[in-house]
Structures are given as structure tokens and as C-alpha cells.
Structure 1
Amino acid sequence: MTDSKAGILLMIGACSIWGLSPIYYKLLVHVPPLELLAHRTLWSLVVFAGLLAVQGRLGQLRKALSTGRNVAILSFAAVMISANWFLFIFSVQAGHVTETSLGYYMFPLVSVLLGVIVMKERLALLQWAAVLLAAVGVVQLTWGLGAAPWISLVLASSFGLYGLVKRRLSTGPVVSVTGEVALLAGPAALYLLWLHTHGAGVFGADVSTSGLLVFSGLLTALPLVLFSAAAQKLSMATVGLMQYLNPTLQFFCAVVLFGEALPGYHVIAFGMIWLALALYSGTSLAQDRARRKRLATSVAEAPL
């Protein structure tokens, strides 16, 4: 099997797990979101730290946490990803999976906007048109809902800020995420201890619930490992396009499996954002092909 085919299969696996994860959280609708988040944090640390130990890379984790700058970056990233996880869990349990899928569709365009504002990156005219079209979609959805789509906006923004700050780290994704959950593990453990001392914790109440809570660690770690492996085998353009499988599967869960309503204004907003993504992705692919063509030409014309 070629690297490209292997990368595509790995990426499909990662995005499928992420996209179908609302099914898992629906099974734990009886567990309060904050308690579920605390368990996800602790069991994720167990899985990630165990993986690094097997690979002999725990030293990299210690190095990542050895400087004040890295700890500050990882702390901010930890706050962003925990806020994202909490809102996602809450939204699924409350029956707002349509809004979560919209948020993850919006995320790439929010990341682009953050890149322009913070990193001073430049966009082509058609890419600006895509960003503006997505903004019109959000305004239209706000008009239809009678309020801003806060769930979608916060999910997209928190994940965008998370990705932005992670660019300032030289450590790999598994090491950095392990550092993030390690920083969150103390508060999570104290919260669960407080719950259980007051007789409110659900862990241990029944085998199925406890097993599902433990499984949250693998559910968090496995797609990230698959994604990291896929990213090493595929171009960034391919990785970016395939990530849309995640919100597409979330949308499928919301409408087909969970029977969430899909009003007309939602359809229009989704249509605008899908069109914006198609426009931006098409432009990005064209730029990527042109860049590779220039590189190939320069290599071919280079003197021996």
C-alpha cells in the first residue's frame, strides 16, 4: 500500500471517530457534562502517558513542561481545548449536534481569519470572498435564530485559538496534548474527589457507565494518533479537505440519527458555509498545485 492510500485510510479513521463521537456522548447523557469532562481528561492522560512510556518518549513530555514559556502556552491551549470539549459534550447532551457540526464547518475559516489578524497572512481575492460568504451565512443564521449561534461560534473560535497557539510549540501533537491534559488532571481529580465525597459521582455506580467513562481516554487518544500518522503521509491540502468528514458525520448524526429539526434558515446558512468552504478549498488546492509546479520546474532547471 502506498503512503498516500495509507494516509487517506488513517485520516478517514480519525475523522470518522470524531464525527461519530456524538453517539458515544448520547450514551452518557445521564452524566453531567463537567463530570464527564473531568473523566475524559484523566483517562486521556492515562492513555497518552502510557503511549509515551511505551515509546520511550516521556522525557519529551518533561522537556515540554520544563520552561515557563511552554507551560504558559500549554496552559492556554489546555483552557481552550477543555472549553471546546465541555461545550461539545453539553451541546450533544442538550440536543444541539446540528450547531456543533456547523461550528466545526466554520472552524477552518475562523482559523484563516485568525491567521490574517494575528500572523499577518495574506489571502487571495477568492479566499476573501469565501470568508465573507461564511460571515453572511452566520449573519443569516443569527437572523433566523433571533440570536447569535453561540455554540457554533465558541466551538470554532476556541478550536481556532487552540490551533493558533499550538503553532508556537515545537513538540509533536501527542506530547503537547499529554502536557495539556497533565496540567488539567489536578483540577479534574480534585473535582471528582469532591463529587464522590459528597455522594454525587457516577463512577462505580454501574459497570456500563464506568466502562464508558474509561473508554473516553481511548476515544480521545486514538483519533489524534491516527490523524498525526495521516498528516505525515498526506499534503496539507488533502488533510484540510478530509477534515470536513468530521462535521459532515456530526451533521448526519444530528439529522438522521437524533432527529434534530433543520429549519429553512439552517439550510440556507449551511449552504452558504459549504459554498464558502468549497471556494476556499478550491483556491487553496489551485495554489498548492501551482506551488508544486513551480518547485518542480525550478528543480528541473537547476544546473547540475
Structure 2
Amino acid sequence: MTDNATSGPGPHQQKRARAGFGYGFAAYGIWGLLPLYFVVLAPATAYEIVALRIVFSLVVCLLMLAVTHSVGRFIRLFRDGSAVLALTVAGVLIAGNWLLYTVATTTGHTLEASLGYFINPLVAILLGVLVLHEKLRPLQWTAIAVGALAVVIMAVFYGAVPWLSLGLAFTFGFYGLVKSRVGSRYPALITLTGETAMITPLALVAVALLGAQGQITLTSEGTGHFLLLLSSGVITAVPLLLFGAAAARLPLSTVGMLQYIAPIGQFILAVLVFHEEMPPERWVGFGLVWLAVVLLVLDAVRAPRAPRLPRR
């Protein structure tokens, strides 16, 4: 009886797990609904949205550093040359990812954004093989092959390579790879602030150029539009904080499965709200990508059990 009583998670662990699921669903739910936010920011262009998002995100991050008394540790980050270089690269990658995502969702290509984030886990696994020389299990290889077939089918039969989807998947995949090199040395808030600070000068230059061309809508479309753009920093920071809270309470494999909430939400918005076209060829491509996702989920479920099989 003692073994049975101690083998399962206690009330405290169960409470933490329930909270973790709540935080995870909230984080990925917000990310899944972001297309609605970007659409209501019209007539702001994708370039203005991303540039202001970077600037306001830095403001929010600095305020959070002050509240958590982490300013000193953030300043010490700049003594670590390798970390500064990595975060600069990470900042450029995530800015590119944000720009592609915003362009997709503001120009009627939310389906391609959804596809990109369904493909992203496959890209992350592929980068693990090519860059980190990781060994894959059979189901992972099968998932990558099925995902590649989906891209080929869309390129050949739908008539266009899904460049936006691939761009989103690869920029975020490389971003995760770069961040993994510094994430173990510094808290998430420190690295987020660092990468945002590195690209803020570029964002300010973009704002200046857009302003010179008369393309800044921040102060020209009324109070509501101003507040919506101003809130971009909060909308960026809040799901990241929720994600961090979920990751601290749940196994990594569970968090990995929750990530599919965001592209599912984007897909539903694209089809039911934005009424984007889904011809048969695109359904086939999405179907193959979803099959690849199912294979990855099955592999993730089976993998933790593998080491315990010899004990029987």
C-alpha cells in the first residue's frame, strides 16, 4: 500500500499540473488568436506593427526587470560577449518571424501562418539532426518525410511553394536553436529583454523611415487605435510569461503537445472567420502535415516509456 500511495503525484503536484495546463492553454490560446488583433490594427502596415511591437515590448520588459529587481543582472549580461552575439542573432530571427507572421495575417494568408507553425516541430527536429547531430527514432523520420511530401504536394498541385509557411517554420526553428544556447545561463526575462534591446535600434530606424514616408498611423487614427498599438508590448510579454509558468510546472513533452493549440486556432480563424480558400490540394497538404503531427505526438507519448520496458 505504501508503494501505491507514493507512486502517484500528490495533491501539490496535481495542483501545479492543473495550473500549468491553464497557463499553457492561455499562452497558446492568445498566440492562436493574434490574427484577430493584427487585423483590427488596420490601416497600420505590417512594418509599423512589428517595429512598434519591438519598441513597446522593450518598454514592458524593462518595467518587468525593475519590478523583479533584475536590472543589475540584465546589465551584467553585456559582459558576456557570446551571449550578446547569440541574442543579437535571436533578435533578428524573431523580428523576421514576427514580420512574416504579421504580413501573412494582414494580407489574407492566415492559413499559411497556421501551416508554418504546424511544420515548425518538424523543422526543429530536422535542425537537431543537421546542427546538433541528434539521432532520430523511426516515427520522427517518418513524420519528417510526410511533412516534406506535404510541401511538395502544395508546390506542385496547388501551384505555389508555401514560402511564408517555410519562412515562419525555419526562422522560429533557428530562433529556438540559438536561444537554447543561452537559455540555460540566464532567466527567460533577461534573454527576452536582451534580444529585444538588440533589435530596437533597427525598429527605431524603421519607425523613422515610415514616419518620413507618412506611413505611421500611431497618432493619426484616434485614441482606440493608439491604445491598441501601444498594447502590442503587453500582448507580446503576457503569453511569454504564461508560457514560462507552464514550462515550470509541466514536462517538456506536455508543453510541446500544447503548442499545437496556436496553429489550430489560426486555422479555425482562417477558415471560419476570414473565409480563406481551401481547395482540395490544400486540404491534402494540411492533411499530410496533420498526419506528421500525429506521428510526432505518438512518438512523444511512446518515448518516455521506452527506458522502462527492460525492467519488466
Quick check: TM above 0.5? yes
CA deviations on 1:55-113 (whole Å, 9 max, x unpaired) are: 01122222222222111101110110000000111111100000000000000010000
Aligned to 1:176: 191
The 3 A distance-change label for structure 1 pair 278 and 199 is closer
Q: Which of 101, 109, 117 in structure 2 is aligned with 1:96?
A: 109
TM-score (normalizing by structure 2): 0.91
1:237 Cα deviation after fit: 0.9
Aligned to 1:276: 292
Aligned partners of 1:65 and 1:22: how far apart in 2?
Answer: 35
Aligned residue for 1:2, secondary structure, equals helix
Q: Which of 228, 236, 251 in structure 2 is aligned with 1:212?
A: 228
Aligned residue for 2:231, secondary structure, equals helix
* 1:53-72 superposed matches below 5 A: 53-72=66-85
Q: Does residue 51 of the first structure (1) align with residue 64 of the second (2)?
A: yes
Q: Does residue 117 of the first structure (1) align with residue 133 of the second (2)?
A: no
Name the aligned partner's letter for residue 177 of structure 2: L
Q: Which of 5, 24, 29 in structure 1 is aligned with 2:42?
A: 29
Q: Which of 75, 80, 90 in structure 1 is aligned with 2:88?
A: 75
Contact in 2 for aligned 1:237/1:284 (Cα 8 Å): yes
Q: Which of 193, 203, 206 in structure 2 is aligned with 1:191?
A: 206
Aligned to 1:230: 246
Q: Does residue 202 of the first structure (1) align with residue 202 of the second (2)?
A: no
Aligned residue for 2:234, secondary structure, equals helix
1:208 Cα deviation after fit: 1.3
Runs ≥4 residues deviating over 3 A: 193-200
Q: Which of 225, 248, 254 in structure 1 is aligned with 2:270?
A: 254
Aligned to 1:301: none
Aligned partners of 1:147 and 1:124: how far apart in 2?
Answer: 31
Contact in 2 for aligned 1:38/1:192 (Cα 8 Å): yes
Aligned partners of 2:155 and 2:253: how far apart in 1?
Answer: 31
Aligned residue for 2:160, secondary structure, equals coil
Aligned partners of 2:203 and 2:168: how far apart in 1?
Answer: 21
The 3 A distance-change label for structure 1 pair 152 and 26 is same
CA deviations on 1:163-207 (whole Å, 9 max, x unpaired) are: 001111022222111111111112212332344355442111111
Aligned partners of 1:199 and 1:20: how far apart in 2?
Answer: 29
Name the aligned partner's letter for residue 232 of structure 1: A
Equivalent pairs counted in the alignment come to 296
Aligned partners of 1:174 and 1:27: how far apart in 2?
Answer: 28
Contact in 2 for aligned 1:107/1:159 (Cα 8 Å): yes
Q: Does residue 140 of the first structure (1) align with residue 178 of the second (2)?
A: no
Aligned partners of 2:174 and 2:71: how far apart in 1?
Answer: 26
Q: Does residue 243 of the first structure (1) align with residue 259 of the second (2)?
A: yes
RMSD across aligned C-alpha pairs, in angstroms? 1.7
Contact in 2 for aligned 1:237/1:288 (Cα 8 Å): no
Aligned partners of 1:23 and 1:41: how far apart in 2?
Answer: 19
Aligned partners of 1:106 and 1:40: how far apart in 2?
Answer: 25
Aligned to 1:302: none
Name the aligned partner's letter for residue 203 of structure 2: A
Q: Does residue 263 of the first structure (1) align with residue 279 of the second (2)?
A: yes
Name the aligned partner's letter for residue 91 of structure 2: A
Contact in 2 for aligned 1:83/1:158 (Cα 8 Å): yes
